[in-house]
Amino acid sequence: MEIVSTIKEVRENVKKWKKEGLSIGLVPTMGYLHEGHASLIVRAAQENDKVIVSDFVNPTQFAPNEDLESYPRNLERDAQVCQQSGADLIFHPSPEEMYYPDAVTFVNMTGPSDELCGKSRPIHFRGVCTVVSKLFNITTPDRAYFGQKDAQQLAVIKRMVRDLNFDIEIVGCPIIRENDGLAKSSRNTYLNPAERQAALIIHKALDDGKKLILDGEKNSAAVIAKISEIISAEPLARIDYVEIVSFPDIKVIDTIKGDILAAAAVYIGNTRLIDNFIIERQCT
Ligand code: PAF
């Protein structure tokens, strides 16, 4: 496995592989890799001849008040995870390599990026769509892998790929959880032991909401109220949003019907965590 930091080096590898007729899978990440990322790399290695992992904390998807500076970074550890999971190349660029200082072109979306995290983090998806488009252009993969923990991001990327005619298959992969249910996230590392315990309320509340829906509840407000009530009972938790939307077009719905995404963003202390569930049932 090789680690490179320039676009030129990635392109040299890609050119060589394409000449040999090899397929390429891309796993875009911001590093500090955990088992969730490892599962994406393993899947990419099963389905492609070569796997590129991008490891880049993308500044354009963070607002000035967010955690860009403190976001955890550890390339050495990431390299071990990539090696063990079957990656062939890590692309670890600097911000200067990825962005011209006078760049004026960005990828903007409306619709699926407007609700949920798009509401609380207004510039977030512009940064995600821009960096992912750039990574697609740099690596020209056959397939790219994204986790369902960021379900809205997955929907946004799929829509962008369709709208901009990228010839890339987007593969969504299941949420990987700790044994006690907490969704794996690089940001879990910010939690102190009391917060780590408190964070369990998010999955528990969502699970109870899911049960309500599976038992026949069709009123979004009732399910949102139940989930919110459970989370609010935890003193260390502060709700950013709890919402139910249609999936994958991410429109707020009053009545639960068809494929839906129930998503929550919750501050545990100062750490903002997200989690969700999807229910797929055509036309019920
Ligand atoms: O999901 C992430 O880690 C990031 O949003 C992504 C897709 C790597 C873009 O920076």
Give start and end residues of each alpha helix (H) in 114-187: 117-120, 124-139, 151-163
Q: Please give the distance, rounded to the nearest whole angstrom, from the Cα atom of residue 218 to the centre of ligand 1.
A: 33
Q: Is the pLDDT of residue 284 over 70?
A: no
The CATH superfamily holding the domain 186-279 is: Pantoate-beta-alanine ligase, C-terminal domain (3.30.1300.10)
Residue of minimum CA distance from atom 8 in ligand 1: 29
Which structure tokens are listed for 46?
A: 């099963």
Annotation says 34 is catalytic: no
Residue 282: per-residue pLDDT? 63
Q: What is the pLDDT of residues 27-60, one digit of tens each?
A: 999 999 999 999 999 999 999 999 999 999 999 9
CA-wise closest residue to 243 among 263, 229, 260: 263
DSSP state of 190: G
Phi-psi label, residue 86: left if phi above 0, alpha if psi -120 to 50, beta otherwise = left
Give the residue extent of every domain in the chain. 2-173, 186-279
Residue of minimum CA distance from atom 1 in ligand 1: 29
* pLDDT tier for residue 185 given thresholds of 50, 70 and 90: very high
Among 32, 41, 56, 58, name the best residue to mutate to test ligand 1's pocket (greatest count of ligand atoms within 8 A of Cβ): 58
Is 2-173 assigned to CATH 3.10.20.740? no
Radius of gyration of the chain (CA): 19
Euclidean distance between CA atoms 32 and 187, whole angstroms: 9
Q: Is the pLDDT of residue 208 over 90?
A: yes
Q: What is the pLDDT of residues 129-169, one digit of tens each?
A: 999 999 999 999 999 999 999 999 999 999 999 999 999 99
Residues 250 and 111: beta-carbon distance below 8 Å:
yes
Q: Is the pLDDT of residue 172 over 60?
A: yes
The DSSP secondary structure of 254-283, one letter per residue, reads: SB--SSEEEEEEEEETTEEEEEEEEE--TT
Among candidate residues 37, 92, 124, 203, the one labeled active-site is 37
Backbone angles phi, psi at 280, to 5 degrees: -110, 115
E strands in 18-168 = 24-29, 50-55, 89-91, 143-147
Residue 191: per-residue pLDDT? 98
Q: Please give the distance, rounded to the nearest whole angstrom, from the Cα atom of residue 65 to the centre of ligand 1.
A: 18
Among 121, 128, 158, 188, name the best residue to mutate to test ligand 1's pocket (greatest count of ligand atoms within 8 A of Cβ): 128
CA atoms within 13 A on the CB side of 12: 8
Residues 141 and 166: beta-carbon distance below 8 Å:
no
Using a pLDDT cut of 70, give the percent of the chain over it: 99
Which structure tokens are listed for 157?
A: 């990327």
Q: What average pLDDT does the segment 228-247 reach?
A: 98
Looking at per-residue confidence, does 170 or 284 come out higher? 170
Q: Is the pLDDT of residue 283 over 60?
A: no
β-bridge partners, 242: 264
Side chain identity at residue 257, one-letter code: K
- List ligand 1's pocket residues with C-beta within 6 A: 28-30, 58, 61, 128, 131-132, 150, 153
Q: Is the pLDDT of residue 281 over 90?
A: no
Average pLDDT for the chain: 97
Q: Please give the distance, rounded to the nearest whole angstrom, from the Cα atom of residue 102 to the centre of ligand 1.
A: 23
Q: What average pLDDT does the segment 81-108 reach?
A: 98
Atom of ligand 1 nearest to the CA of 147: 1
Residue 141: per-residue pLDDT? 99
pTM of the model as a whole: 0.97
CA-wise closest residue to 212 among 140, 260, 163: 260
Q: What is the pLDDT of residues 98-139, one digit of tens each?
A: 999 999 999 999 999 999 999 999 999 999 999 999 999 999
Residue 71: per-residue pLDDT? 97
Residue of minimum CA distance from atom 9 in ligand 1: 128
Side chain identity at residue 5, one-letter code: S
Euclidean distance between CA atoms 192 and 198, whole angstroms: 10
Fold match between 2-173 and 186-279? no
